[in-house]
Amino acid sequence: MKRARRYTTPAIVMRVVPFGETSQVVHLATPGHGMVAALIKGAHRPGPEFQGGLALASTGSAHLHRRPRAEMELLRRFRVEEDLRGLRRDLERFYGACHVLSLLRLWMRPYLPAEALFAAALTALRAQAAAPRDRVAGWTAWFEARALAAAGHRPRLEACAACEAPLDPTARLLFSAPAGGVVHDACAPPGPSLRLDEAARQGLVRLYTARLPELKREPLDDSTVKAARSVHDIFVPHVLERRPGTLDTAPRA
């Protein structure tokens, strides 16, 4: 894709690393350019552009300058457009946001557009900052579901993910990470799996299919959030082929 040398894009700050005496390297999530690594020269010097450096999870518009032979772009300006200070109100929200940012980093590729993933992260961070505290775990699981779906790993929940035959709601069902969804007891391949009852399966179907306005009107119930947490605890590391450290502190219902 041919890209302009100077461009402006919506962005979320996923990672900030001090660089040299006064600079920072930031990893930005963007909808149209995927992950962008950029240098902020003199980020810690007082000045109107960066006010002492960019904070993690800052959300707004980034003015970038691509340099043909340089590894990193230059971040000329970052206009913070959303107040997400709510994320620092308590540990629940803070750890939830850290988990969203860490998954975003693992799933975003340099210069590969990721509109759905970006939009889901923005929605999740806003909700984690503003929602009642007991809903934070639900929004964290919601982001995982949207990110898994955007990456092509939406779990199979309506029929057996192994043999494709219909599921019997009265029989014993498992969620199997290697099968990629719900399976009959006898169909489960070796690897991480857990027991799932019919109510939890239906809750997961709702998590993966309900539209955003409906979920805002009627949030996920606690038992669904618990089931989603347990399923994602085994499924996210399976899909990523590594266990994100932020999983241990992800908010729980």
**Which CB sits closer to Zn ion, 28 or 188?**
188
| Ordered alpha helix ranges (H), the chain | 91-107, 115-130, 136-150, 198-209, 212-217, 222-240
Distance in Å, CB of 228 to Zn ion, minimum: 22
Q: Which is nearer to Zn ion, 70 or 171 (CB)?
A: 171
Q: How far is the CB of 200 from Zn ion (least distance, A)?
A: 18
Instruction: Select 70 or 163, whichever has its Cβ closest to Zn ion.
Output: 163
3 state DSSP class of 218: coil
Based on CB atoms, which residue is closest to Zn ion, 160 or 239? 160
Q: Which is nearer to Zn ion, 141 or 196 (CB)?
A: 196
Answer yes or no: are the C-beta atoms of 250 and 140 closer than 8 Å: yes
The least CB distance from residue 222 to Zn ion, in Å, is 29
Q: Is 132 exposed, middle or buried (0-12, 13-18, 19+ CB in 10 A)?
A: exposed
- Tokens 């799932």 belong to residue: 196
State the minimum distance, in angstroms, from the CB of residue 193 to Zn ion. Answer: 13
Least distance between Zn ion and beta carbon 89 (Å):
45
Nearer to Zn ion, 54 or 157 (CB): 157
| Least distance in angstroms from the C-beta of 164 to Zn ion | 7
The residue among 187 and 247 lying less far from Zn ion, judged by its C-beta, is 187
Phi, psi at residue 221, to the nearest 5°? Answer: -80, 165
- For the CA atoms of 211, 214, 220, 225, the dihedral, rounded to the nearest 10 degrees, stands at 20
Q: Please state the closest distance from residue 179 (CB atom) to Zn ion, in A.
A: 9
φ, ψ at 175 (rounded to 5°): -100, 125
3-state helix, strand, coil in the chain (%, to 5): 40, 25, 40
Which residues in this chain contact Zn ion in the complex, by CB under 5 A? 160, 162-163, 184, 187
Residue (of 47, 38, 41, 7) closest to 22 by Cα position: 41
- The crossing angle, in degrees rounded to 10, of helices 115-130 and 136-150 is 180
